[in-house]
Amino acid sequence: MPHCATWSESDWGFAFECAELHARFCLGGSVATASELRIRERVMGTTHDARLGLRIRYVEPRPALTAVPAVPDDYRDL
């Protein structure tokens, strides 16, 4: 998820807490744990639907301009 590059330390802490919740759920957690995971998944934008809700979209970067055309000094006289 490229948007993770902008996460702060607290965002990463939240993600690690989610990982712990996931591990607890896999070891026989309750339905309430599953609900909490689903909410946290939406907050972090880990699925396509969650990213749509957060208006996160990934686009291909445009190639950089190689040269900017020069503006003539007498452009106002044209």
Mean pLDDT per segment of 10 residues, for the chain of length 78 residues? 88 92 88 89 87 85 76 68
- For the entire predicted model, the pTM comes to 0.64
pLDDT of residue 63: 81
Q: Are 46 and 61 in contact (CB under 8 A)?
A: no
Neighbours of 47 (CB within 10 A): 13
pLDDT of residue 78: 57
> What is the biggest distance separating any 2 CA atoms in the chain, rounded to whole angstroms?
78
The token duo for 55 is 């208006």
pLDDT of residue 13: 94
